[in-house]
Structure 1
Amino acid sequence: MADSGSCVPHGVEGAPNETALLKLIERTGYTMIQENGQRKYGGPPPGWQGVPPPRGCEVFVGKIPRDCYEDELVPVFENVGKIYELRLMMDFSGSNRGYCFVMYTNREDAKKAVKHLNNYQIRKGRYLGVCLSIDNCRLFVGGIPKNKTKEEILNEMKKVTEGVVDVIVYPSATDKSKNRGFAFVEYESHRAAAMARRKLIPGRIELWGHTIAVDWAEPEQEVDEDVMAKVFCSTSGSDFFSN
């Protein structure tokens, strides 16, 4: 909420379309708050119980007009299915940055959004680009002492980063009691993994007195040939950001 004691959420108060955003919040019952350069609608939606949706439920939306906001976007995307969360990237001027992420409650609705809303005309002559989000939640961490067990690595990663779900460790080919000097760390969300990657940049932190190497692990390939043919092969990534 705003610091002034107002009931208007932070990021909504003073927005050019404040009234329209408040009407959207009232109609849907979703929350909305701006932080870390993004305005988050939902996450979770009203009455949601249980864990967040699994990987594969999020779509990336590009080519959004810079003065187009949730009051225009939500009605379009909720027609496809129930929205769990919409994250609109914002700049300091109050305009959006031309893209957002929409997470649905299931993978089927995410695929429908790609099928039905890619090249959707949001305004006259303005067409959205929609594709499945590369929701990578896994980091590669190298430089780990080979005598550390999976449990020790998991506990250490939980100490220095947030949102750790699991670690994948491979035994040495020559000595099964030792690891290969690296591990894959799984996080609860792409955002959690991204924050951890930023924190673990070499030179900023050491584990067990060792300098570590950190990078994104290769995302798991869940190839949907129909989506690949219609979206990824026909549209370059840069086109998704253009206006």
Structure 2
Amino acid sequence: MNSSGPAYPLASLYVGDLHADVTEAMLYQKFSPAGPIMSIRVCRDIITRRSLGYAYINFQQPADAECALDTMNYDVIKGRPIRIMWSQRDPGLRKSGVGNIFIKNMDESIDNKALYDTFSAFGNILSCKVVCDEKGSKGYGFVHFETHEAANRAIDTMNGMLLNDRKVFVGHFKSRKEREVEFGTKAMKFTNVYIKNFGEDYNDEKLKEVFSAFGRTLSVRVMKDERGRSRGFGFVNYANHEDAQKAVSEMNGKEINGKMVYVGRAQKRLERQGELKRKFDQIKQDRIQRYQGVNLYVKNLDDSIDDERLRKEFAPYGTITSAKVMTDGSQSKGFGFVCFSSPEEATKAVTEMNGRIVATKPLYVALAQRREERKAILTNKYMQRLATLRTMTSPIIDSYQQTGYYMTVPQTVGGRTDMPGVTRNSQYKYSSAVRNAQQVITIPVVPAPVMEPPVHIGPEPLTASMLAAAPLMDQKQLLGERLYPMIHALHPNLAGKITGMLLEIDNSELLHMLESPESLHSKVDEAIAVLQAHQVKECSPTK
């Protein structure tokens, strides 16, 4: 199929359209039968570490790479057909557009493989793609030939032909900049006008009566629902651009039937969606910049604290633009946000209020972060610690492996418990010298068959006052002893590692985790994600 293809010295393949769960190990298992592989890399988001849906595979021999391209293209991995092409190190060929053609008005049943099979007769194909969204094919695609002549042959033969009973358009690819210039020229001479918000009382005749005053109309249509009622918008197509422009200038923002109408140039759906996306992205970026360094995240709030009390507690440190306690219905969720007018005020509030007891709980106060930023910080801490350990010359176990916990019970005299009928609960103890959890269990011996109700003795709940009273070196110990069994119940095999990672966090936040299972689960999930990402990186072949 690609026997006439060029000999790429690096023998590197691009593999696209991958499922998000596909890993380097899966790709190695799939492609290794074609020949020895030098390296495999699934490209991932730098912050979230989620797959971007494509990978690069470097073979030792170009012939093996070509064999994989010929025999495995469009094979299915985890329910998705993969798309393979030669990796183009030089972006000049892609950006030049030479040999690249555009196909539109395709039937939805045509996929990448069908498009490839249709156009491969005209020459060697470097890449082929049907553009899709979550619903399937969007009806257009691209085929990039190795030569300009092959692209011309495809256009001459296929343009206007029927594919699955639909006449397709096939033409030379135009860059976004070229299309925008061309479209902008057309947009400046529009004749089709879009009108909305005129209510349900207007029909085609009434709309024509209003808008024909600006010039000769070719068509007027009010859009209707399945019951035949007006949907409140429609289109007027004028004979010339000047009349359409005059209608927009005169009628936009005017009242029709007691309602203010919008009148503007009619746009295609893709253009509207692109414009709305740009506006949304700009609003999002503006919001991020507006709250950068001034928005505080406050958690471990007492249930009695409402918006007014939260504002009152932070008011001494500056001008507050908003203060909000997050709720589930009428019940506080234990956290909220306070936004100051300047970064200096917010910094002062963090310094003064973090750890301060308000009502009955110590507050955790920090600059608000997006989820992606929090995950990136946790990832960086883990990777830095790991790198530091690897540079040490003395043999040492991974810090999170050596953070071990073991279970003991108090010593008994003569094999007897301290008091009849008492069952001692095994205590979790933190020890940096123990790698694996050890459990020592003793069976209490009762001297006489005196029936007494059993008494459960376990570690008492850790409070803020207890933690503050403990020596600084012992605070993490106390927190670790209580966190470990809770994490062990969720992930027994990784409890030591995860506990060690979480102990890097501020004490007030750790205290909040002990009281809030939801908060603990969230942090444990973040730690698991970091460990999995690191494991994938460690297992992936190096270039």
* TM exceeding 0.5: no
- Structure with higher Rg: it is 2
> TM-score, normalised on structure 2?
0.20
> TM-score, normalised on structure 1?
0.40
Which structure carries more relative contact order (alpha carbon 8 Å, separation 6+)? 1
